[in-house]
Structure formats: structure tokens, C-alpha cells
């Protein structure tokens, strides 16, 4: 018996022009659907399901995803991840990603919704090899509460560790703790309710790209606050404060399109499922 509420392992490899599933295992409250190959491409999209419908008190989830040499894949979820109240023990998820040389892995899950009295810790640990590319996004949204107050959740912590050939190259730790912090105020959420992040690490990122992305996201006319900065290695992080999930999704999609257009002269398929 596994001690995890949900467990998922996926290994992929590239055979000629196609990335295929080499090994797949899941148990408990994690499931993965058959990959979708859009428009004759060899690039699969995998959708993760959480049959339990949400993360509960003390739940633990674990996934391990491997992209073989030159493999390319997209990993997403079928719907938002919901974290419900955790009176005793926080919910926890850890994900490990292994990227072989020249591989391309996108992990673009739906938003995370944290409900009243929820506590959640998430760790992504990304092991990259030479010439690999990793794209990651997350969107944190406050769930509905009977009192209609925002930020009724207790604490969200998201940690991202990135290693290149075994060396730590970036470490990202966002902590939102409405239980203890004046969360709406200066230095915290600055009056906004939603927080989005988009992280791209790749040798293909050059300084001009972040300038072009900056110009693109400046055109956003909704009420948002956006920052973009280059990492210590070729790559960048974008952070977005906004009041609507859709606004953050739109900005991330725009940037994603720009990158796909510049690097592959393609438009990424729509991942949304409705």
C-alpha cells in the first residue's frame, strides 16, 4: 500500500518525430488520460485528473515526470485544483521533473483554488539537462466562502527548485498567509486577489525576448500589475497580480504564443477544456 493519496509516474521518450509514453503508473486519487496529439504533431498533451475532486485534510500527492532525450510534451490538468479546509494537516503535493538533453516540457496546470481554512504546500523540483526547455505556470485564486470574503484560506506555499546538470540555478518560494499577514496590503497582494506566475528556462531565451514580452504585456488594459525579470541562467519569471483568473490566463497565453511563434513558428494548441 502506498502512503500517498495520489501518485503518478510518467516517462516519455522520443521515437523519430514522435514523443511517446514509455512508462505510466498511477494510483489513488491521480489519473492521467490518453495523450492527445494535435494537428499531426508528434507532441503529446497529457491531462491529469483528480477523481477525488479536491485536496482534503492531510492529503499527499506525488508525481514524477520524465522527458527523454529530445522528447517534447505538455502536461496539464483537466480542471482546477481545489484545496478544501485542512483542520489538522496541510495538503501537500510534490512533483519532480526530469528533462533529458534537448527535451521540451511544459507543465501548465489549471488554477489552484484555495477554500476557507485551507493550507497547502506545493514543491516542484525540476532537473534539467543541457539544451532542455521548461515552461511552468500557476495561478492562485481565493475560493468562494460563505462570508464572501476574499482570502479565507489560511496559507499557500509554493516552492520551485530548478537544477541544471545537478546545480541549483533558481529557487522560488511564494508564501501567502492570510491567517497571519495583512494580505491585501502593500508588499503583499497590493489590493489584488489573484496571483499568476509564468516561468521559462531555456538556452533559447535571449535578453531581447524579455523586452519583446514586456512590450506585449504592457498592452494589457485590465487592472493588473506585472513584473518580468531574467534569471541567473537563460530564462525568466513573470509575476502577475490581477483580480480575475481569465486576465492572468490571457496574459500567460499571449506570452506562450509569442514564444512558440519565435522558437517553432507554431501556435500552441488550446489546452482549455470547455
Partner 1 sequence: MNNKLLSLFQLCDSNFPTGAFSHSFGLETYIQEDKVHDQATFAEWLEVYLMEQLVYSDGLAARIVYDALENEDFDVIWEMDRLLTVQNIARETRDGTQQMGKHMVKIADSIYDAPMLSMYRERIRQKQSFGHSAIVFTMVGHYLGVPKQTTVLYYLYSAIANLVQNAVRAIPLGQTAGQKIIYAFQPKLEAAVETVETLEDIDFGAVSPGIELSQMQHERVNVRIFMS
User: Which positions touch partner 1 (CB under 8 A)?
Assistant: 157, 159, 167-176, 181, 185-190, 195, 214, 225-232, 237, 239, 241
Pairing of strands 91-99, 112-114: unpaired
Q: For cell 477544456, what's the residue?
A: 273
Specify the residue, 67 or 140, whose C-beta has the smaller distance to partner 1.
140
DSSP code, position 61 = E
Cell for 117? 481554512
Residue (195 or 259) nearer to partner 1, CB? 195
Rounded to a whole number of angstroms, the minimum distance from the CB of residue 187 to partner 1 is 3
CB 157 within 8 A of CB 173: yes
> Cell digits for 10?
510518467
- Of the pair 32, 114, the CB lying nearest partner 1 is at 114
Distance of closest approach, residue 58 Cβ to partner 1, in angstroms = 17
Cell of 51: 477523481
Closest approach of Cβ 145 to partner 1, in Å? 21
CB neighbour burial string for 115-142, b if at least 16 within 10 angstroms, e if fewer: bbbbbbbbbbebbbbebbbbbbbbbbbb
- The phi, psi pair for 226, rounded to 5°, reads -130, 140
> What is 99-129 written as a DSSP string?
E-TT-EEEE-PPPEEE-TT-EEEEEEEEEE-
Give the nearest distance from C-beta 249 to partner 1 in angstroms.
Answer: 18
CA 122 to chain CA centroid, Å, is 11
Choice between 41 and 230, CB closer to partner 1: 230
- Nearer to partner 1 by Cβ, of 76 and 210: the residue is 210
Cβ of residue 172: shortest distance to partner 1, in angstroms? 6
Closer Cβ to partner 1, 218 or 270, answer by number: 218
- Alpha-carbon torsion (218, 266, 128, 74), positive or negative: positive
Q: How far apart are CA 231 and CA 158, in angstroms?
A: 18
List of residues 6+ apart from 173 with CB closer than 8 A: 157, 158, 159, 160
Residue 136 C-beta: closest distance to partner 1, Å? 13
* Pick 226 or 258: Cβ nearer partner 1: 226
CB of 76 to partner 1, least distance (A): 23
Beta carbon of residue 229, minimum distance to partner 1 (angstroms, whole number): 4
Based on CB atoms, which residue is closest to partner 1, 30 or 162?
162
Amino acid at each position: 500500500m502506498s502512503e500517498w493519496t495520489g501518485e503518478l509516474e510518467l516517462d516519455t521518450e522520443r521515437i523519430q518525430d514522435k514523443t511517446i509514453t514509455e512508462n505510466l503508473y498511477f494510483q489513488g486519487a491521480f489519473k492521467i488520460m490518453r495523450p492527445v496529439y494535435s494537428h499531426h504533431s508528434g507532441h503529446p498533451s497529457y491531462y491529469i485528473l483528480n477523481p477525488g475532486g479536491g485536496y482534503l485534510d492531510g492529503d499527499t500527492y506525488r508525481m514524477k515526470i520524465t522527458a527523454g532525450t529530445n522528447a517534447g510534451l505538455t502536461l496539464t490538468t483537466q480542471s482546477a485544483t481545489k484545496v478544501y479546509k485542512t483542520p489538522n494537516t496541510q495538503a501537500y503535493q510534490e512533483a519532480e521533473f526530469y528533462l533529458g538533453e534537448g527535451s521540451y516540457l511544459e507543465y501548465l496546470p489549471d488554477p489552484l483554488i484555495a477554500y476557507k481554512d485551507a493550507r497547502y504546500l506545493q514543491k516542484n523540483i525540476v532537473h534539467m539537462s543541457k539544451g532542455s526547455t521548461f515552461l511552468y505556470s500557476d495561478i492562485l485564486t481565493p475560493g468562494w466562502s460563505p462570508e464572501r470574503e476574499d482570502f479565507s484560506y489560511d496559507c499557500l506555499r509554493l516552492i520551485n527548485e530548478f537544477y541544471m546538470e545537478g546545480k541549483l540555478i533558481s529557487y522560488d518560494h511564494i508564501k501567502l498567509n492570510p491567517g497571519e499577514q495583512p494580505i491585501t496590503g502593500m508588499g503583499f497582494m497590493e489590493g489584488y486577489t489573484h496571483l499568476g506566475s509564468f516561468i521559462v528556462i531555456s538556452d533559447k531565451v535571449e535578453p531581447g525576448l524579455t523586452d519583446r514580452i514586456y512590450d506585449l504585456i504592457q498592452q494589457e488594459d485590465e487592472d493588473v500589475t506585472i513584473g518580468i525579470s531574467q534569471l541567473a541562467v537563460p530564462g525568466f519569471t513573470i509575476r502577475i497580480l490581477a483580480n480575475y483568473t481569465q486576465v492572468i490566463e490571457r496574459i500567460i497565453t499571449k506570452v506562450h504564443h509569442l514564444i512558440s511563434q519565435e522558437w517553432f513558428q507554431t501556435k500552441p494548441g488550446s489546452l482549455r477544456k470547455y
